[in-house]
Chain A
Amino acid sequence: KAGVTQTPRYLIKTRGQQVTLSCSPISGHRSVSWYQQTPGQGLQFLFEYFSETQRNKGNFPGRFSGRQFSNSRSEMNVSTLELGDSALYLCASSTGEGERYFGPGTRLLVL
């Protein structure tokens, strides 16, 4: 089975711009979660989608949003980028239970 794929892998943006990241889960998995990882804060949960519905949401500002399509692919969007948004953004796929299978991540640098 193919693993979780994320695009793009690397991204450089400037403050104030917006960015869209994409994630394709493992075939058959209906849940996609998004995480932000920084050296200082560790792995922080952004949101989770299951069958196109947001099921859980972390404590991030409204600039962070996401959606899931009928084929389970998911996108997350960050508007009005700030320097502090520089991080590794990870997508994780699951059947809806506890185990998470992470994609390779998108490394975002905001200048």
Chain B
Amino acid sequence: QKEVEQNSGPLSVPEGAIASLNCTYSDRGSQSFFWYRQYSGKSPELIMSIYSNGDKEDGRFTAQLNKASQYVSLLIRDSQPSDSATYLCAVKSGSYIPTFGRGTSLIVHP
């Protein structure tokens, strides 16, 4: 069974700091990796996708993928209170549906 593990948190960081969110997965054949942000009471919103080893940057967000170690992480630079949300990691292999982790709750305090 494909598994995606995330620390449920909450991860608490001060405003302006770097928030680091981690995700590990069990299927070595995984090829596509996604990060979603979900505000309380709202639906998940896709914020980044990554397919190759290394870093991918988009504004204040950087996704890092290490297939050998089977982990993917999301860094949020200059964290803002508006970044407070639950972050879901999703992993997909081949034609299978993406498997979602249960999410990490992030709290950015002023």
Q: Does B87 contact A (CB under 8 A)?
A: no
Q: Which of A43, A48, A99 contacts B49 (CB 8 A)?
A: A99
Tell whether A100 is near chain B: CB-to-CB under 8 Å: yes
A14-22, A65-73, A76-84, A102-110: which lies at the interface: A102-110
A residues less than 8 Å from B62 (CB atoms): none
CA distance A27 to B98 in the complex (A): 21
Question: Is A62 on the interface with B (CB-CB < 8 A)?
Answer: no
Most buried by B among A45, A97, A99, A105: A99
Sort A-B residue pairs by CB-CB distance and give the 6 closest, nearest first. Answer: A98-B32, A42-B102, A102-B43, A98-B92, A43-B100, A105-B43
Interface positions of A from 7 to 34, Cβ below 8 Å from B: 33
Scoring B residues 85 to 96 as 1 if CB is less than 8 Å from chain A, else 0, what string do you get? 000101010001
B39 to chain A, nearest CB (A): 12
A: number of interface residues (CB 8 Å): 17
A64, CB-defined interface residue at 8 Å: no
**A31 to B, closest residue via Cβ:** B97
Question: Would you call A53 an interface residue if the criterion is a C-beta within 8 Å of the partner chain's C-beta atoms?
Answer: no
Residue of A nearest to B102 (CB): A42
Name the B residues within 8 Å of A104 (CB-CB): 42-43
How long is the Cα–Cα vector from A98 to B44 in the complex, in angstroms? Answer: 15
Given contacts A42-B103, A43-B88, contact A98 B45 (CB under 8 A): no
Question: Which residues of A are found within 8 Å of B103, using beta-carbon distances?
Answer: 42-43
B46 close to A (CB within 8 Å): yes
CB-based contact B43/A98 at 8 Å:
no
Q: Which of B45, B49, B97 contacts A56 (CB 8 A)?
A: B97
Complex: chain B residue closest to A41, CB-CB: B102
Hey, which chain B residues are within 8 Å of A101, CB to CB? Answer: 46
Docked pose: A74 CA to B36 CA in angstroms: 23
Q: List 8 A-B contacts (CB under 8 A).
A: A42-B102, A45-B100, A56-B96, A56-B97, A102-B36, A102-B43, A103-B43, A104-B42
Could you tell me the distance between the alpha carbons of A99 and B50 in the complex, rounded to whole angstroms?
10
Which of chain B's residues 16-54 have a Cβ closer than 8 Å to chain A? 32, 34, 36, 42-46, 49
